[in-house]
Amino acid sequence: MIAYVDTSALLRIVLREPGALDDLRQYDRLVSSELIAVESARTIDRLRLQGSLSSEEAAARLRIANEWLEAIDLVLLRTPVLSRASEPMPMPLGTLDGLHLATALIWRDRMGRLPTMVTHDTALGVAARAFGFEVRGI
């Protein structure tokens, strides 16, 4: 089974937050946008700067995020993804969520069945369902 993982799902695991979907490694394949690496690093650094994580804890959480990223097939933000994310959507969706959804749609179109979107972001989850994805996390 294959799943698209957005940043919210990865960060809940990395930051050890309630509701984390710790069973993601049971999927045969995990896919995401390369955006997940930037969003994860920025969030961890923001938490460090806000005092929610010490420098040592932030470094440890970043190492864990990078270990996860090694297990995820990252799709590059290239013209097809950017173009798809720019197209009208049937519901309101922010830029980063639009990029994640466009990446999942492009991957599904090119590689075949991608049945599951893993996210804790409600707007992304609703949009993914509208495009026929099973959604875990919301």
- In a 3-state reduction of DSSP, which class is residue 30? strand
Whether the model clears a pTM of 0.85, i.e. scores above it, the answer is: yes
- Return all residues near 71 (Cβ < 8 A) that are at least 6 apart: 25, 30
- 102-118, pLDDT tens digit by residue? 999 999 999 887 789 99
- Rounded Cα distance between 127 and 98, Å, is 9
Looking at the chain, the whole-number percentage of residues with pLDDT higher than 70 is 100
120 vs 9, 38, 108, 137, CA distance in Å? 6, 18, 20, 5
